[in-house]
């Protein structure tokens, strides 16, 4: 099976020069595939739904939380401050997004919800150090928010790719127009979150960019 990872010589010059990766904390492809990330049953449906809701442009990250049956519970999109950030900075950005849209599940013994990350970027579908940093950040953010770490998906001009699974498609892509959401998935009920003062705050489950 081909996972679509670029060979080390094309992903990082630091290996040849002996220098450190500019992204610092990251997961190599072998580490990601061996970490037990659950497979998406219908990745195209997940990708199409997130693309329709957030219309991500290159350098946009979409963090989504899935419940049972891969039902979308919450999602939010944002543009990271720096493309050269390492996994720790990406972790903090993802964790901040999760805290805005859904309460944590740290009191549960076993995670019941799964977080997936869709990252729209330039280039092709092959793994890069930037992808490795996002993977590290996603895994750590999920641990700190009591969620199961799910798939990492890239969206490029060539289409979408679930890294580590070898599954992908041409549509949607970073250049394609979002499809219209079906009536059954267009609206979400609000989630009751609590602010620092303890007052409930109703937020939409699908957060705008």
pLDDT in tens, 154-196: 999 999 999 988 899 999 999 998 887 654 444 444 333 333 3
> What percent of the chain stands above pLDDT 90?
62
How many Å apart are CA 115 and CA 151, to the nearest integer?
A: 8
Report CA torsion sign: 68, 70, 72, 74: positive
Model confidence, pTM? 0.79
Q: Which of 3-12, 123-132, 189-198 is predicted most confidently?
A: 123-132
In the prediction, which pLDDT does 72 show?
96
Taking each continuous run of H as one helix and of E as one strand, the counts in the chain are 7, 8
At a CB cut-off of 8 Å and minimum separation 6, what does 109 contact? none
Among candidates 167, 156, 83, which has minimal Cα distance to 118?
A: 156
Contact residues for 197 (Cβ-Cβ < 8 A; gap 6+):
none
User: In whole angstroms, what is the distance from residue 135 CA to residue 90 CA?
Assistant: 9
The burial of 138, by beta-carbon neighbours within 10 Å (0-12 exposed, 13-18 middle, 19 or more buried), is given as buried
- The pLDDT of residue 21 is 58
């Amino acid at each position: 099976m081909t996972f679509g990872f670029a060979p080390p010589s094309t992903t990082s010059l630091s290996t040849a020069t002996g220098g450190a990766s500019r992204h610092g904390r990251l997961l190599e492809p072998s580490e990601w595939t061996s970490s037990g990330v659950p497979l998406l049953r219908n990745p195209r449906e997940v990708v199409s739904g997130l693309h329709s809701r957030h219309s991500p442009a290159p350098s946009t990250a979409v963090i989504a939380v899935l419940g049972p049956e891969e039902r979308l519970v919450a999602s939010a999109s944002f543009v990271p401050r720096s493309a050269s950030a390492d996994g720790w900075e990406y972790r903090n950005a993802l964790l901040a997004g999760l805290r805005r849209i859904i309460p944590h599940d740290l009191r549960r013994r076993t995670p019941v919800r799964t977080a997936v990350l869709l990252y729209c970027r330039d280039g092709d579908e092959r793994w890069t150090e930037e992808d490795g940093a996002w993977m590290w950040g996603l895994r750590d953010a999920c641990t700190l928010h009591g969620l199961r770490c799910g798939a990492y998906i890239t969206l490029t001009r060539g289409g979408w790719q679930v890294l580590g699974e070898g599954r992908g498609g041409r549509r949607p892509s970073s250049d394609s127009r979002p499809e219209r959401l079906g009536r059954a998935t267009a609206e979400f009920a609000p989630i009751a979150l609590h602010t620092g003062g303890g007052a409930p705050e109703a937020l939409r489950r699908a957060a705008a960019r």
